[in-house]
Amino acid sequence: MTERDTALPAIDPALRERMVEGICALLPHVLKREVTGATADTTLMEALGMSSTSGLELILELEERLDLEISVEELGRDDFGTVGTLADYVAGNLLPEA
C-alpha cells in the first residue's frame, strides 16, 4: 500500500530531462568529489554512496539552483533509487509559484 494515487499525472519529458541534468550537475557539490558519467540510471546509494542526508541536501540545492519549490511531503526512500527516480519525484511534486 502506498500513499500515492495509482494514476499519476503524466510528467512532461522536457521537465524531467531538466531535472536529470540539474541533479547530475549538483552531484559533485553535494558529494564533495568529482563525479563523471552520471546518467538517469545511476544509482544514488549503491553507485554513488550517497547518504540520506546528502540526498535531502540535493533536493534543497536543486530548489535554489533552478529557482523552484518542491513539496517534500511524499518523499520516500524509493525516490532516491536513481537519478531518474529522483527526477521523477521532483518533476511530479513541484509547487506552483506563489
Q: What is the DSSP string of 22-80?
A: HHHHHHHHHHTS---S--TT-BTTTTT---HHHHHHHHHHHHHHHT--B--TT--GGGG
- φ, ψ for residue 82, nearest 5 deg: -130, 170
Residue corresponding to grid cell 536513481: 82
Among the residue ranges 6-14, 16-24, 70-78, 85-93, the one whose residues contact another protein (CB under 8 A): 70-78
Smallest separation (angstroms) from another protein to the CB of 61:
8
Binding mask 37-56 for another protein (x = CB under 8 A): --------x---x-xxx--x
* Of 10-18, 32-40, 75-83, 85-93: span binding another protein (CB under 8 A): 75-83
Q: Binding to another protein by residue 6, rule CB under 8 A?
A: no
